[in-house]
Amino acid sequence: MEQIKIFDTTLRDGEQSPGASMNAAEKLRLARQLEKLGVNAIEAGFPAASTGDFDAVKQIAANIHQAEVTALARASKDDIDKAWGAIQDAAKPRIHTFLATSDIHMQHKLRMNRDQVVEAAAAAVKYAKSLTPNVEFSAEDGSRSDRDFLCRVFGAAIEAGATTVNLPDTVGYAMPDEFGELVAYVIRHTPNIHRAVVSVHCHNDLGLATANTLAGIKAGARQAEVTINGIGERAGNTSLEELVMGLYTRREMLGFTTSIQTREIFPTSRLVSMITGIVVQPNKAVVGANAFAHEAGIHQDGVLKNRMTYEIMEPETIGLSSNRLVLGKHSGRHAFKQKLADMGYELSESDLNRLFDRFKGLADKRKEILDEDIEVLVAEEILRVPDTYQLDYLNVVSGTMAVPTATVKLKINGETAQSAGFGVGPIDAAFNTIAKMTGTTSKLLRFSVNAISGGMDAQGEVTVRLQENGLVALGKGADPDIITASAKAFLNGLNRLEYMKRNPSISAEERVL
């Protein structure tokens, strides 16, 4: 079977999801997991976007040894210099440069004619090639570009030294048959196309990213650009797990394989969700909570008789186990360490000790600790951004005969502060008090509560979406007490907003592909 190269852009395009900004430590942890997952290339970021992104890409380049480490750059010498400066120490560096090729982009954004675009694309690739032999060129908005002009641009890019040419459906506009035909046309009509790998990068605005990517592969593309959980700009990108498991499950029909270690798919999905704070929808294909759940009686009866009646994939294939190592208050450190290892977490002794203390505290309140509970502990204790605001104390008085009142003690940049406030309910009172203490002007766009597991003693998981001065951040918090979980989520969101203020995200004009 032919192998399809998997180019993961979770750390670059995926981070452009509103509120998904990651710090350098989170990016490095995720990059290591992506390498463990078996992706061929990791697009680590856009070094010209900010100093923080440059430093994060440089750190990833120094620590990743098996996968290619790619940096994005516009078709300019300055961008390419920054990209190379960030990845030059990588074991397998790649510069990825791009330029728009659709008439609407050339006329209204670039203000360049076709000849100028061809010249600029070739010059950018040629300069990148002088720095590294591994260069990718992308024709931004390729799916809305003139076919023959695409062939001309790709031909010039390959002649200048591009080893990969990428055809993106930047705005998720294409239909599968249409996109597959476009890829086939470009391959047939670009004379030197055999000298480069053809790649596709699809967005999900019409829910067709995975279908379009599969159509592109069937038409001759041999690299797919994807993100974990399908996160990314607007409606997101092609989902790695959907594409990989589609190729795996229907391999006899499609005839393709990948280097992905499929048992690492679910742990990677959970890690991305924890780091970004973006909840995976329950009905999400492959990794959603309901992907292997059966409620209808007919379905349950069929699965009990033969799992293949209603399951086309085995959950173990993606890293889910039907057997659980049950943890509780009597569990020891060794069992806890083994559970973490089974879930894909390799922690230092100091991190393990700190996490074990939190685990024992939770086990005193809960009869059974589930995987999801442990993931929340890891997220709160190990993966947090450095906190500007920390919850020290919360007391709420509420009821039908009392005005909801919250008393809150915080550490703000290490200094203790305490205040009280009122609200229309206990959570509103806590939020009002925290907002007054932190001075935030953020707007609460979303508030959701989920039980992590069943039972009266289940932990509650709260997700909030906050907006301030054009920045949007997600916050998550978990606790058996839902009011405490809400306060934790609000503070987590405020901490992420503070991080984003200190590390400006990529501007809307620079969010590409």
319 plus 401 within the same structural domain: no
Chain centre to alpha carbon of residue 213: 18
Q: Which residue has the higher pLDDT, 73 or 384?
A: 73
124 plus 30 within the same structural domain: yes
Q: Is residue 508 part of a domain?
A: no
313 plus 407 within the same structural domain: no
What are the phi and psi torsion angles at 68 (to 5°)?
Answer: -70, 140
What is the mean pLDDT of the segment spanning 449-471?
77
Total-model pTM = 0.78
130 plus 93 within the same structural domain: yes
Closest of 107, 82, 108, 92 to residue 7, by C-alpha: 92
Q: How confident is the model at residue 509 (pLDDT cuts 50, 70, 90)?
A: very low
Domain boundary among 332, 356, 381: 381
Domain boundary among 255, 283, 311: 283
Instruction: Give the pLDDT of residue 346.
Output: 76
Q: Which amino acid type is present at position 374?
A: I
Instruction: Give the pLDDT of residue 508.
Output: 36
279 plus 166 within the same structural domain: yes
Q: Which residue has the higher pLDDT, 258 or 501?
A: 258
373 plus 436 within the same structural domain: no
Residue 36, domain CATH? 3.20.20.70
Instruction: Give the pLDDT of residue 513.
Output: 46
Q: Which residue has the higher pLDDT, 354 or 491?
A: 491
Residue 454, domain CATH? 3.30.160.270
Q: Exposed, middle or buried, 364 (CB in 10 Å: 0-12/13-18/19+)? A: exposed
Q: Is residue 29 part of a domain?
A: yes
Instruction: Give the pLDDT of residue 331.
Output: 75
Domain extent for 359: 297-381
Question: Is 69 in a helix, a strand, or coil?
Answer: strand
Q: How confident is the model at residue 410 (pLDDT cuts 50, 70, 90)?
A: very high
Q: Is residue 507 part of a domain?
A: no
Q: Is residue 203 part of a domain?
A: yes
What is the mean pLDDT of the segment spanning 168-176?
98
What is the mean pLDDT of the segment spanning 47-53?
90
349 plus 498 within the same structural domain: no
Instruction: Tell me which of 127-141, 177-191, 354-368 is least confident.
Output: 354-368
Q: How confident is the model at residue 510 (pLDDT cuts 50, 70, 90)?
A: very low
Domain boundary among 348, 381, 414: 381
Question: Is 203 in a helix, a strand, or coil?
Answer: strand
* pLDDT, tens digit (0-9, with 9 covering 90-100), for 240-250: 999 999 999 99
* pLDDT, tens digit (0-9, with 9 covering 90-100), for 280-328: 888 899 988 778 765 566 665 675 677 777 778 888 888 876 544 557 7
**Residue 74 pLDDT greater than 90, yes or no:** yes
Instruction: Give the pLDDT of residue 323.
Output: 42
What is the mean pLDDT of the segment spanning 55-78?
97
Q: Is residue 278 part of a domain?
A: yes
Helix axes 24-37, 265-276, angle to 10 degrees: 170
Mean pLDDT of the chain: 89
List residues bridging with 446 in a β-sheet: 465
Instruction: Tell me which of 29-38, 386-395, 401-410 is least confident.
Output: 386-395
List residues bridging with 118 in a β-sheet: none
Sequence-distant (6+) residues with CB within 8 A of 494 are: 388, 389, 434, 438, 440, 442, 466, 473, 475
Q: Is residue 432 part of a domain?
A: yes
107 plus 181 within the same structural domain: yes
- Tally of domains in the chain: 3
Rounded distance between C-alpha atoms, residue 405 and residue 432, angstroms: 10
Closest of 366, 379, 274 to residue 327, by C-alpha: 366
180 plus 260 within the same structural domain: yes
Instruction: Give the pLDDT of residue 120.
Output: 98
Q: How confident is the model at residue 367 (pLDDT cuts 50, 70, 90)?
A: low
**Residue 76 pLDDT greater than 90, yes or no:** yes
Q: How far apart are the first and last CA of the chain?
A: 29
Most confident region among 60-74, 298-312, 379-393 by mean pLDDT: 60-74
193 plus 269 within the same structural domain: yes
Instruction: Give the pLDDT of residue 502.
Output: 79
Q: Is residue 66 part of a domain?
A: yes
Instruction: Give the pLDDT of residue 499.
Output: 81
307 plus 423 within the same structural domain: no
Confirm if 131 and 84 have CB atoms less than 8 A apart. Answer: yes
Q: Is residue 20 part of a domain?
A: yes
Q: Exposed, middle or buried, 143 (CB in 10 Å: 0-12/13-18/19+)? A: buried
Express as a percent the part of the chain with pLDDT over 70. 90
245 plus 309 within the same structural domain: no
Instruction: Tell me which of 348-357, 425-434, 487-496 is least confident.
Output: 348-357
